[in-house]
Structure 1
Amino acid sequence: MIPVGLVGWVVALALVVSIIASAVRVLLEYERGVVFRLGRFSGVKGPGLRFIIPVVDKLVKISLRTVAMDVPPQDVITKDNVSVKVNAVLYFRVVQPEKALIEVENYLYATGQLAQTSLRSVLGQSELDDLLTQRDRINQHLQEILDRQTDPWGVKVSNVEIKHVDLPAEMQRAMAKQAEAERERRSKVIHAEGEFQASQKLSEAARIISSEEGALQLRFLQTLTEVSAERNSTIIFPIPLDLIRPFMKKREGEP
């Protein structure tokens, strides 16, 4: 038989241990504890070993670490009437734990829904070319909008990044044709510039040759040397009059 007094002591000890356990809380370095006393906000406790009043106080832990939230793909019609699917990633953290609990029911869900609606709204005001080439500017604009709207909830949005833009197949084909046409245009421009520079050099060479009587003869002999190096069996080459004109003048001057 266990004495009644011993049973009482055991029950009392168990009750004391239970009260102490319910009064002690351990908060990690990245956590904060929001304390409500009889339903009213009492304060925010930092990391470490913390004590609360059992039954009277309620402590809710909030993490201050940065959250990376994936925004699901959104169907967006751009300003120039192109239908695309866009997804993004959102980086944010709680900076005021009491507001994250008091001002909004579920700050994670609310921030995610706000990111989806803001993504559709901002991209709907942008053209497709801006969406593909000006992502940094659009990301910055989205971050400013979300940070301003989540500030009353004690949430700080640090960054928004558009991850992928899914274009329709016909739009991809059209963009491929446009890129091909642009490359062909650049090729023709470069070729035309090369022809223009070559014509300028040829014009300068012609002026130099025409200014010297022996230059044309030397060029003729050089060309014969280059042609003979090709191992041709027969070479037909016109003889310019300037090459034999000195001999003709010399003969006409003889008595």
Structure 2
Amino acid sequence: LGKADMDELPPGLNFIIPAVQRVIKMSVRTHSYDLRGANSINSLSKDGLTINTELTVLYKIKPDKAAEIYVEYGLDYESKIIKPVIRSAVRDVIATLDSSQVYQERELIQKKLMETVSKELEKRYILLDEILIRDIRLPKRVVEAIEQKRRAYEEMQKMKFVVEREKLEAERKRVEAKGIADANKIIAGSLTKEYLQWKFIENIKAYAQGDNNTVILIPYDQQMTPIINIPNIKK
């Protein structure tokens, strides 16, 4: 009688009164709504640049609220709910970010959109499943400037690493040289006159026991008695 019955019919077989009742079918499955191409969204970043965003919204209506959606918005609820809500959310989120953030932080944008859109759609009896960002386009000159800045930063970080590595290597060599110098000092301190004379005599003994040695010359200025190796006493 010109009024909507606010009780939804469950899936399956249902009976109606012909000519009196009319059934409006509304799918409660997940739907996708594209905002791409001519339907994409232009918005201004925090630093005043135009950002073009293309995305897909995955959603479904609440089964127990189908009648309310139909009464308030009709069957064209995508253009009356989904489109304006997502457009408003994209513009609000982009407005909080500068162009470099928009270019580099797509995940942050998606997270903020999910939070905002989910709340707004739920007020209108729609459940948000996912927002898929297809593309975010910035002016070409801006992209080139951001890339140049990124490369310069990476090069600077690389140079910092090289300088730090060279400093560590120089420190390693300094410690190594100090260790060698300290060791030499210890060795030099242990080389007394008596020790050197004893070592000298030991070396002469070892030489004298050689099979091919016949004569050993010892310097007289060492205050030692010359030693002559006589071959015929060898065994």
Q: TM-score, normalised by structure 2?
A: 0.69
User: Which residue pairs with 1:102 in the alignment?
Assistant: 71
Identical-pair percentage: 19
TM-fit CA distance, 1:120: 1.8
Larger Rg: 2
2:59 equivalent in structure 1: 92
Asked if residue 40 in structure 1 is aligned to residue 3 in structure 2, the reply is yes
* Separation of aligned partners in 2, 1:44 and 1:172: 51
Give 2:24's aligned residue. 60
Counterpart-to-counterpart distance in 1, 2:2 and 2:96? 45
The correspondence of residues 168-207 of structure 1 with structure 2, limited to 5 A, is 168-207=139-178
Could you tell me which of 121, 133, 138 is aligned with 1:150? 121
Match 1:69 to one of 12, 33, 38:
33
Which shifted more, 81-90 or 95-104? 81-90
Please report how far the alpha carbon of residue 108 of structure 1 lies from its aligned counterpart in structure 2 after TM superposition.
1.5
The whole-number CA distance in structure 2 between the counterparts of 1:39 and 1:188 is: 77
**Which has a greater percent of strand?**
1
Equivalents in 2 of 1:199, 1:152: separation in Å?
A: 66
1:35 maps to what in 2? none
Q: What secondary structure sits across from 2:14 in the alignment?
A: strand
Could you tell me which runs of 5 or more consecutive residues in structure 1 were left unpaired when the two chains were aligned: 1-37, 216-250
Judge conservation of contact 2:58–2:130 (CA < 8 Å) in 1. Answer: yes
Structure with the bigger RCO (C-alpha within 8 Å, sep 6+) is 2
| Structure 1 contact 104–153 (Cα < 8 Å) conserved | no
Query: C-alpha offsets along residues 96-152 of structure 1, whole Å, 9 cap, x if unaligned?
Result: 211120111321111123212321222122223433444334323323332333334
* TM-score (structure 1 length as normaliser): 0.64
Amino acid at match of 1:39: G
User: In the alignment, does 2:111 pair up with 1:130?
Assistant: no
- More displaced, 133-142 or 104-113? 133-142
Report the Cα distance in structure 2 between the residues aligned to 1:212 and 1:152, rounded to whole angstroms: 81
Q: Which consecutive aligned stretches of 4+ in structure 1 deviate over 6 angstroms post-superposition? A: none
* 1:112-127 correspondence runs (5 A): 112-127=83-98
What RMSD, in angstroms, separates the aligned Cα atoms of the two structures? 2.5
Tell me by how many angstroms 1:208 deviates: 1.9
CA distance in 2, matches of 1:153, 1:204: 72
